[in-house]
Amino acid sequence: MKSLVMICAIAALASGCSKSATPTSPTTTVTAPTPILFSGTLQPRTSRFYSYTLTSAGTVTALLASLERNGVPAGNSLELGIGVPAGTGCAVTAVANTSATLQPQLREDYSTGTYCVRISDVDGLPQAMTFTIRVIHP
Amino acid sequence: MIAKLIGTILIMAACLGCATTITSPTPTAKPIDVNAFSSQVPPGGSASREFTLVTGGNVGVTLTSTTPADTVLGLGLGIPRSDGSCALSNAVATTAGNSAQLALNADGGLFCVKVYDPGGLTAPVAFTLAISRP
């Protein structure tokens, strides 16, 4: 009799656990890309650059989101580049000649490390203008 | 008696072993979003709002009405700066209408629309605009 009760109890234990033992797919944690904004004023025929650090490898996109003269969008083109800091500058490895837009002009795959984005006036702006660059990285 | 006791203990163990920990759902941040908004532009001033694109695509902005009617306003699209102002990528000076006066392709992310005095307003102008997006 004792054995029967034991067997029933063990059976109940086993059947109770089996329902929750259904394997489920592991949840994948997706880290949202991080946007960084760099804003400043660009004088005619000058460059500015900003550094940022990637703590995980992945795709980096950069766009010249805005170029304004007295708060009004300007259609001038600038050279946008991304690369690695070198000395007191930014050695760009990819460049795009672009006016302001809301789609990435540069898209590169990078490993972890320190990188930079550079904005340069090659053609000669008529006057100083304010700009905003958006870099999105993993 | 002993068998009953053992059985009870086993059943209790089963309950404890199979207990499911119920966790509260993680609250999801509500995206900053507008599909339409109304406000006023004072002389020399502006009004802006932010919106989120979950996926990239074409964004259209329609200045649907102004009071007084037929007032020309500046209408721009861009991205929010860290200080909250709207850095414009593109803009037009326009009166109200039924179709988008400004349309741009954009990637996913946070964007802003700004309505501003293009110069010449002498009194506040009320407006309504609508945003279409993917």
CB contact under 8 A, A65 and B89: yes
Confidence of residue A23 (pLDDT cuts 50, 70, 90): low
Residue B95 sits in a domain of what CATH number? 2.60.120.680
pLDDT in tens, B1-33: 556 655 555 555 554 444 445 555 555 545 456
pLDDT in tens, B34-66: 688 899 999 999 999 999 998 889 999 999 999
Instruction: Kindly list the residues of chain A whose beta carbon comes within 8 Å of any beta carbon in chain B.
Output: 1-2, 5-6, 8-10, 12-13, 16-17, 20, 35, 37, 39, 61, 63, 65-66, 68, 71-73, 100-104, 130, 132, 134, 136
For chain A, give the percent of residues with pLDDT over 90.
72
Total domain count for chain B? 1
pLDDT value of position B11: 53
Determine the average pLDDT of the residues in B78-86.
Answer: 91
pLDDT value of position B15: 47
For chain B, give the percent of residues with pLDDT over 70.
75
Distance between CA atoms of residues B19 and B86, nearest Å? 52
Domain for residue B56, yes or no?
A: yes
Residue B17 corresponds to which tokens in the numbers above? 């072993």
Domain boundaries, chain A: 34-137
Q: Which residue of B has its CA nearest to A1?
A: B3
Q: Answer for the pair A134, A39: CB distance below 8 angstroms, yes or no.
A: no
Residues contacting residue B74 through CB under 8 Å, at least 6 positions apart = A72, B46, B91, B92, B93, B114, B115, B116, B117, B118
Confidence of residue A68 (pLDDT cuts 50, 70, 90): very high
Model confidence at A88: pLDDT above 50: yes
How much is the ipTM here?
0.71
Confidence of residue A27 (pLDDT cuts 50, 70, 90): low
Determine the average pLDDT of the residues in B121-128.
Answer: 96
Q: Range of B83's domain?
A: 36-132
Confidence of residue A65 (pLDDT cuts 50, 70, 90): very high
Residue B95 corresponds to which tokens in the numbers above? 């009166």
Determine the average pLDDT of the residues in A14-18.
Answer: 49
More confident residue, B1 or A54: A54
pLDDT in tens, A37-53: 999 999 999 999 999 99
Determine the average pLDDT of the residues in A55-63.
Answer: 94
Within an 8 Å CB–CB cutoff, is residue B20 touching chain A?
yes
Confidence of residue A71 (pLDDT cuts 50, 70, 90): confident
Domain for residue B108, yes or no?
A: yes
3-state secondary structure of A130: strand
Structural fold of domain A34-137: Jelly Rolls (2.60.120)
Q: Answer for the pair B63, B95: CB distance below 8 angstroms, yes or no.
A: yes
Q: What is the pTM of this model?
A: 0.73
What's the mean pLDDT when you consider all of chain B? Answer: 83
Confidence of residue B94 (pLDDT cuts 50, 70, 90): very high
Within an 8 Å CB–CB cutoff, is residue B115 touching chain A?
no
Beta-strand pair A78-86/B109-116:
unpaired
Determine the average pLDDT of the residues in B89-103.
Answer: 96
Among A19, A41, A68, A102, most B C-beta atoms within 10 A, so best to mutate, is A102
pLDDT value of position A8: 47
pLDDT value of position B88: 96
Domain for residue B105, yes or no?
A: yes
Domain for residue B25, yes or no?
A: no
Tally Cβ neighbours within 10 Å of residue B46: 17
Beta-strand pair B109-116/B73-80:
antiparallel
Candidate from A5, A13, A35 with C-beta closest to B3: A5
